[in-house]
Amino acid sequence: MVDTASKSGSERTTRSDRSQYIAQTGPIDVDAPPAAVDVALLGRTLLGTWADIRLASRELVKDPALQRIEGLSLEEHRTRVLGQLRLLVQNGQVHRAFPEALGGGNDHGGNIASFEELVTADPSLQIKSGVQWGLFGAAVLHLGTQRHHEKYLPGIMSLEVPGAFAMTEIGHGSDVASIATTATYDPQTQEFVINTPFRAAWKEFLGNAGKDGIACTLFAQLITNGVNHGVHCFYVPIRDAATGEFLPGVGGIDDGLKGGLNGIDNGRLHFDHVRIPRENLLNRYGDVAADGTYSSPIASPGRRFFTMLGTLVQGRVSLDGAATIGAELALTIAITYGNQRRQFTAASDTDEEVLLDYQRHQRRLIPRLATTYAQVFAHDQLLRKFDEVFSGAGDSDEDRQDLETLAAALKPLSTWHALDTLQEAREACGGAGFITENRLVSLRADLDVYVTFEGDNNVLLQLVAKRLLTDYSKKFAKADAGALARYVVAQAADRAYHGSGLRRLAQTVADFGSTARSVGQLRDPQTQRELLTDRVETMISEVATRLRNANKLSKEKAAELFNSQQNELIEAARAHGELLQWEAFTEALDGIHDAGTKQVLTWVRDLFGLGLIEKHVAWHIIHGRLSPQRAQAVSAYIDRLVARLRPHAQSLVDAFGYEQEHLRSTIATGIEAERQNEAREYYRQLRASGDAPIDEKTLRKKQGK
Amino acid sequence: MVDTASKSGSERTTRSDRSQYIAQTGPIDVDAPPAAVDVALLGRTLLGTWADIRLASRELVKDPALQRIEGLSLEEHRTRVLGQLRLLVQNGQVHRAFPEALGGGNDHGGNIASFEELVTADPSLQIKSGVQWGLFGAAVLHLGTQRHHEKYLPGIMSLEVPGAFAMTEIGHGSDVASIATTATYDPQTQEFVINTPFRAAWKEFLGNAGKDGIACTLFAQLITNGVNHGVHCFYVPIRDAATGEFLPGVGGIDDGLKGGLNGIDNGRLHFDHVRIPRENLLNRYGDVAADGTYSSPIASPGRRFFTMLGTLVQGRVSLDGAATIGAELALTIAITYGNQRRQFTAASDTDEEVLLDYQRHQRRLIPRLATTYAQVFAHDQLLRKFDEVFSGAGDSDEDRQDLETLAAALKPLSTWHALDTLQEAREACGGAGFITENRLVSLRADLDVYVTFEGDNNVLLQLVAKRLLTDYSKKFAKADAGALARYVVAQAADRAYHGSGLRRLAQTVADFGSTARSVGQLRDPQTQRELLTDRVETMISEVATRLRNANKLSKEKAAELFNSQQNELIEAARAHGELLQWEAFTEALDGIHDAGTKQVLTWVRDLFGLGLIEKHVAWHIIHGRLSPQRAQAVSAYIDRLVARLRPHAQSLVDAFGYEQEHLRSTIATGIEAERQNEAREYYRQLRASGDAPIDEKTLRKKQGK
């Protein structure tokens, strides 16, 4: 299937004769070369490392039983999604990440890939299964030991035991270390006493806590022999499975309606001196002996805490993928519709313009398409890194830290991009975009919370920034002013992108004034790389310089100084994440061998890269990296790239590979083209009949008025 | 009520003891001068020209019967909102715009002001009453004549006759002139035959069409004696009032669920040769005699069309106001919560930081607060202009055009800003922001469609751009290169802002390089004005230059050339709208005489103005208006302004004047501070008891590990 730059509709159009409106869209007047995208080949590339598993998951969710029904009440939606989880169990799709001994597949990357695709069925289904198997189950798997696996995982895997992941409290979300729930060991009875000391310590926003959960993995401060050993995780039954009533000492309330994801029963939990057996401590990283003696394989409490939390990174990894799918769906719908919908005549007296032929419409959708492509490639790298760490193929401390930083850098960008793209797509479809049957509004509502859960995006970017600062300061601690120059030379061999990990701050600070001489050079990936890399490095280096005396200040003054750099640091982390996406895109181009596809995708990559440069072009000018004249060339070249990509827009969304069963959007079925054809035919026949009324305007012209 | 820059919570906090958390928020370390906002005085200023009417409307909507209940089914919500419209009728609030002879108040500005405030009760209530009285009723009022007023308005005003405004068709939304429904005059029976020729001509997205409407004001191509006189409006019964069934020849479907506004029954309508009496033509601007002879007081069909549509500008005017209220609610909720919520310790070992003390949090909320202030002032000017035109105090053609351009410039900015602000507020409140009971998600969902209805925002901005181009070309048509300079001199006296109308393109092109020498000068309003004005003028002038030979090209080539400038033109229109907002803000400052309030608001205005300059700082550098060094000073000064305004943030949202009955957001009640106080007290008592566990970290330090 090769699309030779015709402005064709989706190949999967089922409700219209595609050839009808291909013929009517006519030629366009941009300098589109005869490059062509091999949609099938590109589609396979986009599916990434776990292509077959993704395809199987997409097949699975074609079953209407797994799909969202709009307009259900809260209770109906919850009931439906719980039933859908049972269907997933029956299908055996969701057990990939669990141990082979228990019937699982021990396939961590494939598990996430499969799980992400559920978002096309219903984001509530995706997130509820994420709560059950990716959080509640994963906590038992990664924080528990053999005895917990054998005792709890079978019930969790089979959904006999629906459970909540009770970490967040009303008073502490991002700052997990400060949660206030306590688990105090009582050596007399060899039990932990779980207690919620005040309202701010109620566990909050927990999926499965509102109604379905009969147990939870609860995070609490472990106290034994008068010492608080910090946050640990416990397996705590909360409801009687038979009656659905809370167990003695446990209470809670239902969070009720949310902005989206209403198929999930979020709720609050609190505990009044609830006693659980000592063995319910998930003791992989910390244990308490019968006499109350605490032990841990990790001596440092700080490192122990981060190690425990680090095992739960898969939530962030999977949101990066699911958000990218959300953006793909949005663009497939809006570009398919924008490629058929016509409004206003401009170039002729009779034919109205296709929306996607308007420059503004192109500017609204095509750069977002480029960003989505970058995210697809970056996400596959993230998923491979995740699989390496969790399969044990590469799970050193550094690997784990790189994985966490990579996830913390990419998840914010992709989740924000999904909301931005869903909204722009909804607006680009006008009133039709606001109608639920066209899908965009519900998807946006459901994906809204992705930007603040599993790590608030702004907080995650700060984590990335701190890592960048740490890497920087490790090199330059107590170094003199000349250290930077030596560092640059010493690390010259380290310039290649570490595909599966974190991009190192190891590039030269070049004089781009002398290299970015023309538009031609903006196309050079090395120019793009240097501009993007230099911005990250310079921002970090500038902040580091401003912070260099912080350790000489009082804690209060140091905090104030750090706070004055917070915004800049977060922007630096964002720039770092964008660079990672750009590098992943560039690396992916190497794997594409079809000439036409490679040409078009190179334009897409250039559009992404130059779009990032344009967004911060003032920075590049102010810092002397681009002259004002060259900065103007960036925007001019972006205009050309957008126009050049316009004829390929449909192929580029078709390559995402979604079928009508995944899109479920009336305006993406071809119905708009059908209606237009009907209208044209009506007018054609009217003109032919001689009965057409004459326009007053025309008449007045004839009459010389 | 004077807030001396304490970081106090809302005065209207009802569920907490305000003094408790004022005491605990402590001092901050920015260079806040002793300026203070007089909240009551500022609040009165913000209420604007129709302050008393706004206050009365706010009192009215404290009645729970008028307020949104979340979680209703589609049917329940619709039924409730229809009932709320009846309550409005009983109250007599909604008749202000109608003629005094029919019991109305003939108060156009007051009517809109009152109507806008309904958005705090339920946006569905606002928009459904807008459909009934602002569109359906206003079409009869403004496009009909005495006989229509007497016959139809009483039933419309009393809601005995709920009706739809049947303009948009599936195939034509923004391009109203191209709608395809026909009204063909039959002199034999003296009737119009209303017909929908094909599916694309179905009327679509009409409020009241899904269920409640028994009539509509229908826009159709008026055809008589074989001539199409263009779009006219007709009064057409559609349903049997007794049975609710469609009348013969009329059909339609319900649009069902939407992304928001589900209290309104949007739907489609179609007509199969439905006959209505000749007198049902709303004939103020065009009439058909019994014999079929067409006549109109406006000879030009084009001008006639725009005159008819122009009478319906109030929809755009009121959306500008309602969207601004939406942003006010969002910021009141998020700033009140952000001023109480604490997370992470930084400056001390025990007290966590208040969210709003984080630089990033300030950067997220305070500039949006500045924009909201600018919109409040700009909206009052728009409303005054609207009132002048519709009261007849100033209703020349130029006045009407100015009003339309002003509305087209402001409505896009304020509706986009409302969505952006509601989303940022929701994210700034974290998971709590996603819970429906905290209000932000529902408001955002409801206001979503404001950006594309009553004129798609991008289309409206193009209208503004075309007006700017026209004004420009009127001056320079066939002029030589020296004309610009002479024009600038000639118009020097015209530099003052025309507060109630459109800002003219009449300013000099100054050399800002020589005036904006320092941060000090950035504070000078004249510097801000010149930078903002110059950008609009230069963008328009550059585009005009590129388009100057368009009339020598073929229609197709001219369209292509124009299309190549579309994005730039829309950006120029946006810049023009922003300038109007800035001017309105600056003018409003003249009316504030309390020194502290004036000082703080001047900072807010500067933040707004410099924020606009920062957003496009690359443009100012590239065009030589700011040196790169001065551009950096803009951002640095913004950082200072944000920090300086932080202590006043609560006062600035308190001045919006919303009470708990309007906010209806649990997190804005003070509950967060209550919970924190409870937690602090718990820990205080624990420490005092001597039973507090020791931290492992502390222990390890003591043990020298």
Q: How far apart are CA A652 and CA A366, in angstroms?
A: 10
Q: Which residues of A touch B355 (CB under 8 A)?
A: none
- Residues facing residue A235 across a β-bridge: A217
Q: Which two tokens stand for residue A181?
A: 């729930």
Q: Is B435 on the interface with A (CB under 8 A)?
A: yes
SS3 category, B33: coil
> Are the beta carbons of A379 and A322 closer than 8 angstroms?
no
B173-184 tens-digit pLDDT: 889 999 999 999
CB atoms within 10 A of CB A34: 8
Of the candidates B201, B227, B559, which has its C-beta nearest A693's C-beta?
B227
Percent of chain B past pLDDT 70, that is, above it, reads 88
Q: What are the counts of helices (DSSP H) followed by strands (DSSP E) for chain B?
A: 27, 16
> Are the beta carbons of B220 and B232 closer than 8 angstroms?
yes
Query: A198 φ, ψ to 5°?
Result: -160, 170
- Residues facing residue A206 across a β-bridge: A267
Burial class, A290, CB count within 10 angstroms (exposed 0-12 / middle 13-18 / buried 19+): exposed
pLDDT at A2 over 90: no
Give the up-direction half-sphere exposure of residue A599: CA atoms within 13 A in the CB hemisphere.
14
Q: How far apart are CA A332 and CA A334, in angstroms?
A: 6
CB atoms within 10 A of CB A695: 15
pLDDT at B516 over 70: no
The angle formed by the CA atoms of residues A603, A607 and A609, to the nearest 5 degrees, is 115
SS3 category, A648: helix
Once rounded to an integer, what is the mean pLDDT over residues A302-327?
95
B155-199 tens-digit pLDDT: 999 999 999 999 999 999 889 999 999 999 999 999 999 999 999
> Are the beta carbons of B141 and B275 closer than 8 angstroms?
no
pLDDT at A103 over 90: no
How big is the A-B interface in CB pairs under 8 Å?
286
- Residues facing residue B634 across a β-bridge: none
C-alpha dist (Å) from residue A485 to A490, A541, A626, B530: 9, 13, 22, 43
pLDDT at A487 over 80: no
Of the candidates B363, B434, B556, which has its C-beta nearest A347's C-beta?
B556
Instruction: Name the residue with higher pLDDT: B501 or A584.
Output: A584
Lowest-pLDDT range of A86-95, B223-232, B307-316, B504-513: B504-513
The residue of chain B with its CA nearest to that of A686 is B197
Q: How far apart are CA A338 and CA A360, in angstroms?
A: 12
Confidence grade of residue B520 (pLDDT, cut at 50, 70, 90):
confident
The residue of chain A with its CA nearest to that of B168 is A431
Once rounded to an integer, what is the mean pLDDT over residues A135-143?
96
pLDDT given at position B472: 85
| DSSP H or E stretch at residue A233 | strand A227-237
Give which of A129, A124, A415, A162 is closest to A259, Cα–Cα: A124
Once rounded to an integer, what is the mean pLDDT over residues B351-375?
96
Confidence grade of residue A95 (pLDDT, cut at 50, 70, 90):
confident
Q: How far apart are CA A602 and CA A605, in angstroms?
A: 5
Hey, of B72, B184, B198, B463, which one would you mutate to test binding to chain A, going by the most A CBs within 10 A of its CB? B198
CB atoms within 10 A of CB A14: 10
Once rounded to an integer, what is the mean pLDDT over residues A91-96?
83
pLDDT given at position B518: 58
The reply to whether CATH 3.90.1150.10 applies to domain B1-37+313-483+516-669 is no
pLDDT at A177 over 50: yes
Once rounded to an integer, what is the mean pLDDT over residues B556-577?
94
pLDDT given at position A476: 64
Hey, of B563, B616, B666, which one would you mutate to test binding to chain A, going by the most A CBs within 10 A of its CB? B563
Lowest-pLDDT range of A528-532, A641-645, B99-103, B264-268: B99-103
C-alpha dist (Å) from residue B316 to B179, B412, B681: 21, 9, 52
With the CA atoms of A363, A366, A369 and A374 taken in that order, what torsion angle do they form, in degrees rounded to the nearest 10?
-80
Q: Which residues of A touch B123 (CB under 8 A)?
A: none
The angle formed by the CA atoms of residues B334, B340 and B344, to the nearest 5 degrees, is 105
pLDDT given at position A5: 46
Q: At what angle do helices A566-590 and A397-428 cross, to 10 degrees?
A: 90
B410-431 tens-digit pLDDT: 999 999 999 999 999 999 999 9
Extract the runs of DSSP E, i.e. beta strands, from A391-537.
Answer: none
Q: How far apart are CA B637 and CA B613, in angstroms?
A: 12
> Are the beta carbons of A416 and A94 closer than 8 angstroms?
no
C-alpha dist (Å) from residue A16 to A39, A252, A339, A357: 20, 52, 14, 21
Mean pLDDT taken over chain A:
89
DSSP A515: T
Q: Which two tokens stand for residue A84?
A: 């859908």
Q: How far apart are CA A419 and CA A326, in angstroms?
A: 8
Q: Is A257 on the interface with B (CB under 8 A)?
A: yes
pLDDT given at position B512: 44
Q: Is A304 on the interface with B (CB under 8 A)?
A: no
SS3 category, B226: coil
Give which of A366, A340, A475 is closest to A425, Cα–Cα: A366
- Domain ranges in chain B are 1-37+313-483+516-669, 74-310, 670-702
B645-673 tens-digit pLDDT: 999 999 999 999 999 999 999 999 999 99
Q: How far apart are CA B639 and CA A620, in angstroms?
A: 20
Of the candidates B171, B197, B228, which has its C-beta nearest A694's C-beta?
B228
Query: A224 φ, ψ to 5°?
Result: -145, 140
Q: How far apart are CA A138 and CA A149, in angstroms?
A: 10
Instruction: Name the residue with higher pLDDT: A274 or A8.
Output: A274
pLDDT given at position A34: 63
Q: How far apart are CA A303 and CA A564, in angstroms?
A: 28
pLDDT at A226 over 80: yes
A506-563 tens-digit pLDDT: 333 343 444 345 567 888 999 999 999 999 999 999 999 998 888 889 988 989 999 9
> Are the beta carbons of A552 and A666 closer than 8 angstroms?
no
Lowest-pLDDT range of A26-35, A408-417, B348-357: A26-35
Give the up-direction half-sphere exposure of residue A267: CA atoms within 13 A in the CB hemisphere.
23
pLDDT given at position B473: 80
Q: Is B454 a catalytic residue?
A: yes
Helix intervals (H) in B165-313? 301-310
pLDDT at A28 over 80: no
SS3 category, A705: coil
> Are the beta carbons of A300 and A126 closer than 8 angstroms?
no
> Are the beta carbons of A186 and A196 closer than 8 angstroms?
no
Give which of A620, A295, A28 is closest to B628, Cα–Cα: A620
Q: Which residues of B touch A701 (CB under 8 A)?
A: none
Lowest-pLDDT range of A374-388, A419-433, B23-37: B23-37
B81-98 tens-digit pLDDT: 999 999 999 988 778 889
Q: How far apart are CA A238 and CA A252, in angstroms?
A: 10
B376-401 tens-digit pLDDT: 999 999 999 999 999 999 999 999 99
Residues of A designated catalytic? 454
**B427, A452: Cβ pair inside 8 Å?**
yes
pLDDT at B14 over 50: no
Q: How far apart are CA A665 and CA A684, in angstroms?
A: 30
pLDDT at A595 over 50: yes
What 3 state SS string does B327-359 have? Answer: HHHHHHHHHHHHCCCEEEECCCCCCEEEHHHCH
Read off the amino acid at residue A673. A
> Are the beta carbons of A61 and A620 closer than 8 angstroms?
no
Confidence grade of residue B104 (pLDDT, cut at 50, 70, 90):
confident
Confidence grade of residue A485 (pLDDT, cut at 50, 70, 90):
very low
pLDDT given at position B34: 63
CB atoms within 10 A of CB A321: 26
pLDDT at A44 over 80: yes
Instruction: Name the residue with higher pLDDT: A481 or B289.
Output: B289
What 3 state SS string does B266-287 have? Answer: CEEEEECCEEEEHHHECCCCCE
Give which of A170, A156, A331, A181 is closest to A250, Cα–Cα: A181
Q: Which two tokens stand for residue A593?
A: 């061998």
Give which of B297, B300, B303 is closest to B283, Cα–Cα: B297
This complex has an ipTM of 0.92
pLDDT given at position B27: 37
SS3 category, A287: strand
The per-residue DSSP string of A680-696 comes to: HHHHHHHHHHT-PPEEH
Once rounded to an integer, what is the mean pLDDT over residues A26-38?
59
Lowest-pLDDT range of A12-21, A692-701, B257-266: A12-21
Mean pLDDT taken over chain B:
89
> Are the beta carbons of A645 and A367 closer than 8 angstroms?
no
The sign of the dihedral angle between the CA atoms of B358, B362, B364, B365 is: positive
**A622, B639: Cβ pair inside 8 Å?**
no
pLDDT given at position B646: 97
pLDDT given at position B476: 64
Give which of A438, B454, B644 is closest to B463, Cα–Cα: B454
CA distance, residue B627 to nearest chain A CA (Å): 9
The reply to whether CATH 2.40.110.10 applies to domain A66-310 is yes
Give the up-direction half-sphere exposure of residue A203: CA atoms within 13 A in the CB hemisphere.
29
CA distance, residue B166 to nearest chain A CA (Å): 14
Q: How far apart are CA B314 and CA B135, in angstroms?
A: 9
Q: How far apart are CA B29 and CA B37, in angstroms?
A: 19
Spatial neighbors of B19 by CB under 8 A, at least 6 apart, are none
Q: How far apart are CA B497 and CA B505, in angstroms?
A: 11
Q: How far apart are CA B325 and CA B422, in angstroms?
A: 11
Lowest-pLDDT range of B11-15, B319-323, B589-593: B11-15
pLDDT given at position B703: 85
pLDDT given at position B477: 58
pLDDT at B17 over 50: no
pLDDT at B6 over 60: no
Q: Which two tokens stand for residue A97?
A: 């990440």
| Chosen CATH of B74-310 out of 1.10.1240.10, 1.10.3720.10, 1.10.10.10, 2.40.110.10 | 2.40.110.10
pLDDT at B61 over 60: yes
pTM, entire model? 0.92
Once rounded to an integer, what is the mean pLDDT over residues A399-428?
97
pLDDT at B509 over 80: no
Lowest-pLDDT range of A679-683, B31-35, B679-683: B31-35
Q: Which two tokens stand for residue A587?
A: 């690396």
Of the candidates B227, B458, B628, which has its C-beta nearest A622's C-beta?
B628
